[in-house]
Amino acid sequence: MHELSVVQSLLETIESYAAEQKATTVTKVIVRNGPLSGVVPDLLRTTFDTFKEKTIAEDAELVIGENPLLIQCHDCKQEVRSMIQKFACPICGSRNVDARGGDDLILERLEMDVADDPD
C-alpha cells in the first residue's frame, strides 16, 4: 500500500503551502487521480483521514476527482479519453497509440482560512 507515502508527501506539501500563505487551517483538499496512478481512491481517503490528525489539514475534506487517461492515435490523429483496459483508438480501432496522462495524482487546489494580517 503506497497510499501511506502518497499521503505523507501530500500532507508535507499542504503544510508547506499553508505556511507560505499564513493559513490557520485547511478546509478542503482537491486532488485528481489518474487510472494508471496505482492509487486506490478509497485507500487514499482512509489513509488521509487517519494521518491528517494533528496537522493543519485536520478538519479538511478530501475531494478526489478523475485525471483522465488520454489516447493519442497516430493513424487517425485523434486524441480521446480511454478506459484503462483498452489501449486502442475508440474511433478507428488502431493500436498505434500513445497513452498520455492518467498516471499521476495531482494536487489541484487547497481551500484554507488565512489569518488577517494586522499590518
Check if the beta carbon of residue 31 is closer than 8 Å to that of residue 107. yes
| Residue 87 cell numbers, joined | 489501449
pLDDT at 88: 84
Task: Express each pLDDT in 42-76 by its tens digit.
Answer: 999 999 999 999 999 999 999 999 988 888 999 99
Of residues 59, 54, 62, the one with CA closest to residue 10:
62
pLDDT at 29: 99
Does pLDDT of 118 surpass 80?
no
Task: Express each pLDDT in 71-93 by its tens digit.
Answer: 899 999 999 887 666 778 888 98
Check if the beta carbon of residue 86 is closer than 8 Å to that of residue 73. no
Locate the domains of the chain by residue range.
1-67+102-119, 69-100
C-alpha of 110 from chain center: 12
Cβ burial of 106 (10 Å; 0-12, 13-18, 19+) is middle
DSSP 8-71: HHHHHHHHHHHHHTTEEEEEEEEEEE-TTS---HHHHHHHHHHHTTTSTTTTPEEEEEE---EE
Taken as a whole, the chain contains a residue count of 119
Instruction: Domain 1-67+102-119: state its class.
Output: alpha beta
Q: Is the pTM of this model over 0.75?
A: yes
Question: How does the average pLDDT of the chain come out, rounded?
Answer: 92
The set of residues, in sequence order, having a beta carbon less than 8 Å from that of 95 and lying 6+ positions away, is 87, 88, 89
